[in-house]
Structure 1
Amino acid sequence: MAPLTLYTNPQSRGRIARWMLEETGATYETVVIDFDGDARTPELLALNPMGKVPTLVHDGRVVTECAAICAYLADAFPEAGLLPDETSAYYRWMFFAAGPLEAAVTDKALGVTVPAEHRVMVGYGDFDRMVTALETAVAGQPYIAGERFSAADVYVGSQIGWGLSFGTLPARPAFTAYWDRLKDRPALARANAMDDALMQKAPVPKG
């Protein structure tokens, strides 16, 4: 058995984790969780009580949540060069994307509007404020942490790429320019090819 095992589904955030794994160059095994049946199998629940993917196992250690998986793999495989020398922007924007960005996009998709008097209670304030903040992360420099690509670009880039593809984020020039710098990375192409092949082999509905 490979020291790394990714529990995933090709129509899930597991695509982010696979991209990150491909960037590391590490050898890993894939276990596909079928959303068409009961994704909360005893095996998966033993690893992740939420019964969610992606779930990563590395030498017996379990890591869940995409941002955590990206950060963990950058630390675990330093030779891949995915951890910048200066990490303030790296951590700031990776976890901004995991918190305010994802919450704001999800709420908008569900038609949830936070009353103005309660915006102080939610991490993103309001959708437009979140988008403007995100724009500052990708404007004026090639990557999130500066001149060099890092694990934060895998996570934030995935969120922006999906947002542009599905219309959940506005196509601001800074977003499109940033995604153009990421979308042709060889590791992303390999990851997408593997997940696309899984979808063709056994199409599954979104979970």
Structure 2
Amino acid sequence: MAEEIVFYTNPMSRGRIVRWMLEEVGQPYRAVVLDYGTTMKAPDYLALNPMGKVPTITHGEVTVSECAAICAYLADAFPQAGLAPALDDPMRGPYLRWMFFAAGPVEAAVTARSLGLLAPADKAGMVGYGTFDTVIDTLETAVSGGPYILGERFSAADVYVGSQIAWGLQFKSIPERPAFAPYAARITAREAAVRARALDDALISAA
């Protein structure tokens, strides 16, 4: 697919996850940096993402928002990067499971806990994450079976899930577990991750 990838972001946002994913994919892209409260809320951008948030990408006539969806899309759009199991690969199931487990229960539970809004024990069955401790136990399982979520194979799931873990450890919104810090250090040392951080940090420094 030769269509241009346009990446709408802000270096102080979840766009950092997608920047890393784009660097892993290795395809040319054009970054458009938007500002909170101004260009993110402009009519032309709201036509792409009515939430007025970043990141969003366009790829030809395709528009995708939400970090996990963007990571999944890019992995499938550029299979030569080897970042997603094929549809007939048995690892496709675990790949999708952990990607969207992080986008759903992990994100919801970590945010709720940070805001002091976790569901009480007698209401845990009403929320998708159940309990915070169960989510963290399950997340630890995801990264304990090998160097990567899919064992020996790095994938887009590591970009997304790994970003959640790395940020959670940095901001102490995810408790330390024996598997978390080594896993986060391993994946964030990848060349693409280092390049992505450098690009976003330079934008912050120049602001």
- Shorter-chain TM-score tier: over 0.9
If asked which structure has higher relative contact order (CA below 8 Å, sep 6+), I would say: 1
Query: 1:73, CA displacement in angstroms?
Result: 0.3
Partner Cα distance (1:39, 1:140) in 2: 40
- Give TM-score scaled by structure 2 length: 0.94
- Give TM-score scaled by structure 1 length: 0.94
Query: 1:41, CA displacement in angstroms?
Result: 1.1
- List per-residue Cα deviations over 1:125-179 (Å, max 9, x = no partner): 1111110010110012111122110000000000000011111111111111211
Unaligned runs of 5+ in 1: 203-207
1:1-207 equivalences under 5 Å are 3-35=4-36, 37=38, 39-84=40-85, 85=89, 86-202=91-207
Report the residue type matching 2:64 in the other structure: V
- Report the equivalent of 1:205: none
Count how many residue pairs are aligned between Structure 1 and Structure 2.
201
Give percent identity, aligned residues only: 62
- Root mean square deviation of aligned Cα: 1.1
Aligned partner of residue 100 in structure 2, secondary structure: helix
Partner Cα distance (1:58, 1:38) in 2: 20
- The structure 1 segments of at least 4 consecutive aligned residues displaced by more than 4 Å after TM superposition are none
Report the residue type matching 2:158 in the other structure: D
Partner Cα distance (1:8, 1:183) in 2: 20
Partner Cα distance (2:149, 2:168) in 1: 17
